[in-house]
A and B are shown apart, each in its own frame.
Chain A
Amino acid sequence: EVQLQQSGAELVRPGTSVKLSCKVSGDTIIAYYMHFVKQRPGQGLEWIGRIDPEDDSTKYAKKFKNKATLTADTSSNTAYLKLSSLTSEDTATYFCTTGGNNFDYWGQGVMVTVSS
């Protein structure tokens, strides 16, 4: 069974960057695209973008184009989401998700808190 294990919670200062990881087990990371989703406290789900780990091609939602960077390391079966120039608007839980039937598998989520 495919499992996605995300890195731990982050408390970060405004204006800095943070890099979150999502490790795949039970299958090779190149089997499917890896997507990332944002959820602000008490709010709905927002698609950030996706990476094809086979060729590193990426697609982003317009509002995240200058905020998020997706990368993947096939040797460690891990995908990464880097968030830059952090503000309070970036305080949220971030999920990675993948699968052949769209978003079959989800990581447990990473809470990022932006605060001085």
Chain B
Amino acid sequence: DIVLTQSPVLAVSLGQRATISCRASQSVSISSINLMHWYQQKPGQQPKLLIYRASNLASGIPARFSGSGSGTDFTLTIDPVQADDIAAYYCQQSRESPFTFGSGTKLEIK
């Protein structure tokens, strides 16, 4: 199985940039297609798709969210961070079954 590693917690100040990383145990890219996706989950809610295929903004998601990366290393950036962004963020790969998730990064305010 492909293991996705995320740092458990990230603390940032409001208005600053948050950079959340995700490292895969093997490449999740096929040719130029990067099969990594990012989700936001607030307590008591279902996850919400933010970024698909590494860098594509999902419908209705503000442009202060962006994604980058390829191969095994991926990043979700939130700039600037707002109070409403306090949540857990998960990366997830669809390169191969099982479609694993990272363990999540909780974004906290400094």
| Chain A residues engaging chain B, CB cutoff 8 angstroms | 35, 37, 44-47, 49-50, 59-62, 95, 97, 99, 101-104, 106-109
Chain B residues at the A interface, C-beta cutoff of 8 Å: 1, 37, 39, 41, 46-49, 52-53, 56, 58-59, 90, 92, 94, 97-104
Task: Closest B residue to A93 by CB, please name it.
Answer: B46
Chain B residues near A108 (CB, 8 Å)? 46
Tell me the nearest residue of chain A to B39, going by C-beta: A103
B residues in contact with A103, CB < 8 Å:
37, 39, 47, 49, 92
Q: How near does chain B come to A62, taking the closest CB pair, in angstroms?
A: 7
What is the minimal beta-carbon distance from A114 to any residue of chain B, in angstroms? 20
Please name the residue on chain A nearest to B99 by beta carbon.
A47
Would A59 and B49 be within 8 Å (CB), given that A45-B90, A103-B39 are in contact? Answer: no
- Give chain B residues whose Cβ lies under 8 Å from the Cβ of A62: 1, 98
A45-B92 Cα distance, complex, nearest whole Å: 9
A4 to B49, CA, bound (A): 15
User: B92, A101: Cβ atoms under 8 Å?
Assistant: no
- In the complex, which residues of chain B have a beta carbon less than 8 angstroms from the beta carbon of A61? 1, 97-98
* Across-interface contacts of A97 in B (CB, < 8 A): 47
In the assembled complex, which residues on chain B have CB atoms less than 8 Å from the CB atom of A59?
A: 97
